[in-house]
Structure 1
Amino acid sequence: MIIHRRGRGPEIEYPCPWGYKVIGVDVELLRSAIAEVIQERPHTVTPSSRSLTGKYHCLDVELVVTSEESRLEIYEGLRRHPAVKIVL
């Protein structure tokens, strides 16, 4: 659950469902990157969209994060992966 605090960032109560949008050029490489970073955590991956030219693809990743440390670790792992261009 996310609780918005006036003047500060949101306070997130863990565990909670969380989603990432993972963008890159090759869908299969994106899927491999997600599997590598997420590892054994239960998750779902759903195709989201692609750019008008078809060069970039977006996959939605949904899972339950257990802590801020875990949430940020997953984000950083995806962000640093060579197959991933952008993580939102």
Structure 2
Amino acid sequence: MMCRVGSVVAPFCVYLADVWIYLPQLIVGILAFIIGVLTLLLPETLGKPLTTTLEEAESLGCKKKSKNGAEGGMELNQSEAAKV
């Protein structure tokens, strides 16, 4: 859907050069930077099998918790720290 919106708006970006000559290039550059930053939020998929269902795809970015609730077993909550 966003591709369709972009294809409709793109021809009008040429007219933005009448306002300021660098405005179309600035808009494209800012959008490219924002897209690059948002790409860093995607989950890592290297070495993982491809998903076949929607549920697998949704759980791809979720972090799994260990049995005691701490990441890697290195963190203690306050009640466990008081016992030690």
- TM-score above 0.5, yes or no: no
Q: Answer 1 or 2: higher relative contact order, Cα 8 Å, separation at least 6.
A: 1
Q: TM-score, normalised by structure 2?
A: 0.21
Q: Relative to total residues, which structure has the larger strand share, 1 or 2?
A: 1
Q: Decide which structure has the larger Cα Rg and report it.
A: 2
Q: TM-score, normalised by structure 1?
A: 0.20
Q: Relative to total residues, which structure has the larger helix share, 1 or 2?
A: 2
